[in-house]
Chains A and B, each alone.
Chain A
Amino acid sequence: MSSGSDPSLAPAIRSGVFFAEARRQAVDSTEHGLSAGNVNRAHSDGAHDSEDESALMRRAGNGDASACRILVDRHLRSIVGFSYRFLGDFAEAEDVAQETFLRLWRHAHRWEDLARLTTWLHRVARNLCIDFVRRKRPEGVEDIADHPDPAEDQATILQRGSVAQLVVAALAKLPERQRAAVTLTHYQGLNNIESAEVMGVSVEALESLLSRARRGLRDHLMPLRDDLMGDL
């Protein structure tokens, strides 16, 4: 659906509600090879025909390298994006993405169409991210949010000139479950049912996590709105 095309929504459009994508397209950051946002791209990932994906998984399970390549082309960017927003580190995000796909290959020959592939991949990636953080910081993932690195405060990051990093840093300050919930729904293009499935919670619990996450992000980011949007 295209809510932005409805003329009766003009007030909301004028307020900038539906201009997010156009504004995002204007961003041209070269750091870490970052490129324009992926909300709509993630939605298009979700549009892959499930029957088509089942056939690809069957072929991959039989050792068909071309099917593996198609699956990587379709989903790698999304999984790296999810892991990056979860971990806040690009190299670690790539490690998690690689391990996620290795698990997919090991699982491919007994793939059953019980879940959409993108949901399965996100669930594995999320678990790997949690393991990754626990190994790295034994105090646990939830505690990280309570002890952000003082050296990486907002002013410092702004001085480094990357507003994207500031948003990622704000995400990193959220407790793990809130961070995963907002990443899945806002950035990864998963709907509420799929996000709840990845998280292993009910839709009601997901909404509660999302609501708290967005409140936390608003508290962190809205005071900096003029600085952030001024950069663009």
Chain B
Amino acid sequence: MTRESKQIEEIDIQRFQQILDSYGSNADRWPATEREAALALLRTSPDAQKLCGEAGDLDRILDLAESPEPTPALATRIVAAARQALGWRERLTAIGSEIWPFGSQWQAAAIFASAAILGLALGAVPLPPTAVEDELPIIEELALLTFGPELATED
């Protein structure tokens, strides 16, 4: 589809005024979806041209506020900060490679994490009672055998 044959949705002078009120006279700043229609109206409407000229008066004044040039030291500081902020990742990766030279460090981390979880799980589950716990202490057992049940429990 060529530009000429493309259907341009028309806008009225009221919407054109709203566009100028919000975005000013420079078509580069107008909404992309309405730019063609607004320019088409500007080509044919003396009212639109007058309004655009008035909006341009303010734009020219606003354009007097130039953009400040950052000091060279600022850029240097920011790049140095990047080395500091991002360098630890490089160092961490290097240390990780020494500890786990077998492939992905995520794999190593996953194995360590699995081992830790397994250890915690085992520690949390109570062990079943053993036969030893059911047995009487040896002294009590000897007393029972020696003196019989009545004397052995007498305190």
Contact = CB atoms under 8 A, between A and B. Distances in A.
Specify whether A and B are partners.
Answer: yes
A22 B70 CA distance: 23
Contacts of A24: 63-64, 66
Contacts of A20: 26, 56, 59-60, 63
B52 A15 contact: yes
Interface in A35-94: 35-39, 41, 43, 60-63, 65, 68-69, 72-73, 76-78, 80-81, 84-85, 90, 93-94
Interface in B22-79: 22-29, 31-32, 35, 39, 42-43, 46, 49, 52-53, 55-71, 74-75, 77-79
B82 interface: yes
A164 B25 contact: no
A217 B58 contact: yes
A221 B61 contact: yes
A6 interface: yes
A76 B66 contact: no
Interface stretch (A95-103, A113-121, A137-145): A95-103
Nearest to A192: B31
B57 A225 contact: yes
Contacts of B58: 214, 217-218, 221-222
Interface residues of A, number: 82
B6 interface: no
B65 A168 contact: yes
A164 B63 CA distance: 9
Q: Tell me what chain A mostly uses at the interface: helix, strand, loop, or mixed.
A: helix
Contacts of A43: 28
Interface size class, chain B:
35 or more
B82 A27 contact: no
Contact of A15 (B21, B56, B61, B71): B56
B53 A16 contact: yes
Given A3-B28, A11-B49, A94 B60 contact: no
A76 B26 contact: no
A109 B89 contact: yes
B122 interface: no
B74 A27 contact: no
A1 B28 contact: yes
Contacts of A203: 31
A134 interface: no
Contacts of B78: 68, 72, 76, 97-98, 101-102
10 contacts: A16-B57, A17-B56, A21-B63, A27-B66, A38-B66, A39-B28, A39-B63, A65-B82, A76-B74, A94-B74
Interface of A: 1, 3, 6, 8-9, 11-12, 15-21, 23-24, 27, 29, 32-39, 41, 43, 60-63, 65, 68-69, 72-73, 76-78, 80-81, 84-85, 90, 93-94, 97-98, 101-102, 105-106, 108-109, 163-164, 166-168, 171, 182, 185-187, 191-192, 203, 206-207, 210-211, 214-215, 217-218, 221-222, 225, 228-229, 232
Given A9-B43, A77-B70, A78-B67, 12 more contacts: A11-B53, A20-B59, A24-B63, A32-B68, A37-B65, A63-B89, A93-B68, A94-B70, A98-B74, A102-B85, A182-B62, A217-B58
